[in-house]
Structure formats: C-alpha cells, structure tokens
C-alpha cells in the first residue's frame, strides 16, 4: 500500500511551526536556502569604525584657521544632519577634535598659559576648515598660531568595515620623525652622565648601583665634614708632626731655612739666644737686639708714634682754622638773612607781634581772638552756570580767600569735588569754574558749598 506524502506547497502557511520539529531532528543547514554572504556584507556595511589620519609638516604661521580641502582630497564630511553611522571625515563636535604637534620638537603647541592647543575640523561652504582653539576654563577660545609655526596633525575619519582594507586594524602607527622613548627622554644619556661612559641600561627596572647616588652624596658630605674636623684638630695639636709643624711659611726673601712655622720659630729662638750669649751685658740690650731682629728695617715704635702725633696736631689745627672761618661766614649770612626777611616783610607784623596780639602772657588765647577759622557759605544754582564767583554766595563779611593756599574745599550736593578734575581756582578772587572740558555745568537747585581756612582773625 502506498504512503500518502505531502508536498511543501500543500502545507498551508503557519500550519507547520517550530514546535512541530523535534530537537533531535532539526533541519540541516544544507537544506536551507540562506544567502549568508549577503547577510555578512549587510552586517559589515552597518558597522563603522573611526580612526585618526595623520598629516605632516603643514604651515600654519600666524593663522587661526586654515582651508585644508586640498590637503585631505577625495574625502566627504560626516555632519550632524547625516546619520551618525555615516562614513567620512567627522566634523561634528566634540568628535571633530584634531590633535596637533610641533613639527620640529614633536611636542604639543602651547598657549601663553602653557595649555595644549588643539584643532576642530569643520565643513563650511563646501570646504574643510581646520580651526585652532585653546582651553578656557570649561570652554575653549580661538587661538592664533605664532609666526613660523609648522605642525603635524591628526583628524578623525569614520570608515565602513565592508570596504576598508584588511590592514586597517594592523596598528601600524609609525609617524615620520619619531624616536625610541628612551632616546626621546635622553635616558641613555642621563645614565652615562651619572654612571660613566661605559655604563649601559639593562632595562630590568632594578637599581644597578650597590648604593644609591643620593646616599653616596650624603656619605661624601659626612666624610668631608669629618676630614675637615681632623685637619682643625691637627692644627690645634702640639704633638710631633702636627700643629705648627704642618703649616707652611712663604719666605720669598729667603730669611729662613725652615719651611714650616715650627722650623722658623726655632730659627728665631736660636738667633736670639746667640745674641744673648754673645757679650751683651744688659737685658735691655738683649731685648733691643731681639726687637731689631724681628722688625728688620722698619721704624721703631716710638719714632712712628712721634711722627703720628705731629701729623695729628697739624690736622687738628687745620680743622680749627676751617671751623673758625665757617663760623664767621655763618654769622655774616645770618645777618644778611635777617635783613632780607625784614625787607620782605615790609610793614607786615612780625610773628612775635601777631602772637602778642592773640595770646595772653601765660600762652592762652585772648578772649575774642581766633588763630584761624573756617568760614562756610552755600550757593543755590539757577542752572547752566559753569563759573561761580565769591560774591554769588550772598554772605556778608565773608573773608577774602587767597587763591592757591590749598585750604579750599568745594562740595556739590554734599559731594566733595577735586581741584583740577571737577573745578579750578581762578586768580583775582575766588572763582570756581565747573567746566572741566566736557561741557559740565550746574543744574537748577544744585547746592554749592565752599569752606576754607582764614588765619589770624579778630
């Protein structure tokens, strides 16, 4: 009997489900019509990676931004208006940051605050523009490159894994002008300077010296201190081979045969002993002979004292003569000054006369007398005045004011004004000029107050 078989097209949609297939009887992959290559390419196309592209030796002398369209040809921008997965040069912040290095030193370019300068890649008007910035707190400000500046720089580009070269992720990041880190930091040079030309680094991270250089220096300092103290002790000692026997004598004239202080003293003692034993009859003569030997051709002390005393007496006499002449001239000048003061005062009272008029004999102020007082007057402005005269204050018996005596205070509506800035004194009586060059005038109702000092008034 034949078995009834179903063809695939006879099975209605959704009738056969995954639950109908036993776990141990799954459909083999070879029985499935799946285009795995197409799925693989679709997956790769949907995956993007970004990496830095380096450009070397670009002249940026004195500029704050630079058109780099010709430097990075055949590229397209990736901007915010496109999907973030789009390919091309990234020009949307903050991912559009460009890394800068000085073309000579390989070090970052710094601003006047020693902060690292960086770039931003932008796309404006159909061209790529590289703009330069320096940090400013949490933000950034435009930066203008110094004259003569050249840079190497790296910008960020997004790639499609479907089309990118298989060597893209090979981590080949050599850049022209780079060097081994130890050479860049001069570690080898430093090691040879410290340990000698024959020394080489073994790069195991451990110290090669039995004692650290810092400790060697400390030990040397202590050794030098101890050696210096030993020398001082030897100088102070009276033992054989120490003290005076270790101190040399410079004897260019050749008076002594010995070369040390001890030997020279022995020669002097021997010479004096010979003089004492050679027929000298008195101790005074012996002492004189010893002094003569020591002083050689120098003058005796008494002769030098007598000469100094004579010179000092002459100096004192000369000084006395000059002092008398100066005193006589000073007396004459005092008389001349008194005559000049009298002529200059004219008919004005002397200070003594003015004090006698103002003070009692015990020095107290006479009743009704003032040494000085401070008159004060107020003027209400009509508006538009740039000059106010003393007479405008309408105060009877207002004492005269001497222009330039530096005691005048001027207030406008209670505010103290400054001479030369807010007003000026005009000769020929008190005249306060309020025009300081910008057309300043008083306005209606302004209160102008003046106060100054008047001396020796009844």
HEC readout, 273-319 = HHHHHCCCCCHHHHHHHHHHHHHCCCCCHHHHHHHHHHHHHHHHHHH
Task: Output the pLDDT for position 269.
Answer: 82
- Max mean pLDDT among 149-158, 293-302, 304-313 falls in 149-158
User: Domain 370-457: which CATH class?
Assistant: mainly beta
Give the separation between CA 24 and CA 29, rounded to whole angstroms.
14
- With 70 as the cut, is the pLDDT of residue 184 above it? no
Q: What is the pLDDT of residues 120-129, one digit of tens each?
A: 999 888 889 9
Q: Which of 101-105, 119-123, 200-204, 207-211 has the lowest mean pLDDT?
A: 200-204
Q: In which band, very low, low, confident or very high, does the pLDDT at 145 lie, cut at 50, 70 and 90?
A: very high
Q: In which band, very low, low, confident or very high, does the pLDDT at 154 lie, cut at 50, 70 and 90?
A: very high
Q: In which band, very low, low, confident or very high, does the pLDDT at 195 lie, cut at 50, 70 and 90?
A: confident
Give the separation between CA 425 and CA 408, rounded to whole angstroms.
9
More confident of the two residues 191 and 201? 191
More confident of the two residues 149 and 92? 149
Task: Output the pLDDT for position 8.
Answer: 67
Domain boundaries, the chain: 48-176, 299-348, 370-457
Among residues of the chain, what percentage have pLDDT more than 90?
Answer: 15
Can you read off the two tokens belonging to residue 151?
């840079």
**How many other C-beta atoms are found inside a 10 Å radius of the C-beta of residue 171?**
6
Cα 225 versus chain centre, distance? 38
Q: In which band, very low, low, confident or very high, does the pLDDT at 45 lie, cut at 50, 70 and 90?
A: low
The beta-carbon contacts of 80-86 under 8 Å, at least 24 apart in sequence, are 85/46, 85/48, 85/158, 86/48, 86/158
Q: In which band, very low, low, confident or very high, does the pLDDT at 1 lie, cut at 50, 70 and 90?
A: very low
Residue 151 near residue 58 (C-beta atoms within 8 A): yes
Task: Output the pLDDT for position 190.
Answer: 77
Q: What is the pLDDT of residues 48-62, one digit of tens each?
A: 777 888 898 999 999
Q: What is the pLDDT of residues 447-456, one digit of tens each?
A: 888 888 776 5
When pLDDT is averaged across residues 308-328 and rounded to a whole number, the result is 84
Task: Output the pLDDT for position 385.
Answer: 83
Are β-strands 370-373 and 415-416 bridged in parallel, bridged antiparallel, or unpaired? unpaired
- With 50 as the cut, is the pLDDT of residue 81 above it? no
Task: Output the pLDDT for position 98.
Answer: 94
Q: What is the pLDDT of residues 268-299, one digit of tens each?
A: 888 787 766 655 455 666 666 666 666 666 66
Q: What is the pLDDT of residues 366-380, one digit of tens each?
A: 665 555 667 788 888
């Amino acid at each position: 009997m034949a078995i009834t078989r179903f063809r695939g097209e006879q099975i209605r949609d959704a009738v056969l489900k995954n639950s109908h297939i036993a776990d141990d009887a799954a459909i083999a992959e070879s029985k499935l019509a799946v285009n795995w290559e197409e799925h693989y390419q679709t997956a790769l196309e949907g995956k993007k990676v970004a990496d830095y592209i380096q450009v070397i030796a670009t002249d940026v002398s004195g500029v704050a931004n630079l058109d780099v369209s010709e430097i990075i040809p055949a590229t397209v921008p990736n901007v915010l208006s496109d999907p973030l997965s789009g390919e091309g040069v990234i020009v949307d912040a903050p991912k559009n940051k460009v890394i800068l290095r000085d073309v000579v030193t390989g070090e970052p370019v710094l601003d006047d605050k020693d902060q690292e300068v960086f770039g931003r890649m932008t796309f404006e008007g159909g061209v790529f523009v590289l703009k330069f910035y320096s940090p400013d707190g949490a933000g950034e400000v435009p930066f203008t490159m110094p004259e003569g500046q050249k840079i190497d720089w790296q910008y960020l580009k997004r790639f499609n894994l479907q089309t990118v070269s298989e060597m893209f992720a090979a981590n080949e990041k050599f850049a022209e002008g780079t060097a081994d880190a130890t050479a860049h930091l001069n570690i080898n040079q430093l090691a040879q300077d410290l340990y000698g030309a024959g020394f080489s680094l073994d790069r195991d991270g451990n110290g090669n010296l039995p004692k650290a250089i810092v400790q060697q220096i400390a030990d040397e300092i202590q050794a030098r201190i101890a050696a210096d103290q030993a020398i001082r002790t030897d100088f102070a000692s009276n033992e054989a081979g120490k003290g005076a026997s270790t101190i040399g004598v410079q004897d260019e004239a050749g008076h002594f045969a010995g070369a040390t202080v001890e030997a020279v003293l022995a020669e002097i003692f021997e010479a004096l002993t010979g003089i004492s034993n050679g027929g000298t009859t008195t101790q005074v003569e012996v002492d004189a002979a010893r002094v003569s030997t020591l002083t050689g051709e120098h003058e005796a002390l008494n002769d030098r004292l007598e000469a100094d005393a004579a010179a000092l007496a002459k100096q004192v006499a000369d000084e006395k003569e000059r002092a008398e002449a100066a005193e006589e001239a000073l007396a004459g000048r005092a008389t001349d000054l008194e005559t000049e003061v009298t002529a200059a005062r004219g008919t004005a009272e002397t200070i003594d006369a003015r004090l006698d008029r103002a003070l009692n004999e015990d020095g107290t102020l006479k009743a009704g007398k003032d040494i000085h007082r401070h008159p004060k007057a107020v003027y209400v402005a009509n508006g538009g005045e740039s000059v106010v005269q003393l007479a405008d204050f309408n105060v009877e018996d207002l004492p005269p004011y001497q222009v330039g005596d530096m005691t005048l205070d001027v207030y406008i509506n209670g505010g103290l004004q400054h001479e030369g800035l807010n007003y000026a004194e005009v000769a020929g009586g008190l005249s306060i000029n309020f025009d300081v060059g910008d057309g300043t005038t008083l306005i209606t109702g302004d209160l102008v107050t003046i106060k100054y000092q008047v001396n020796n008034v009844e």
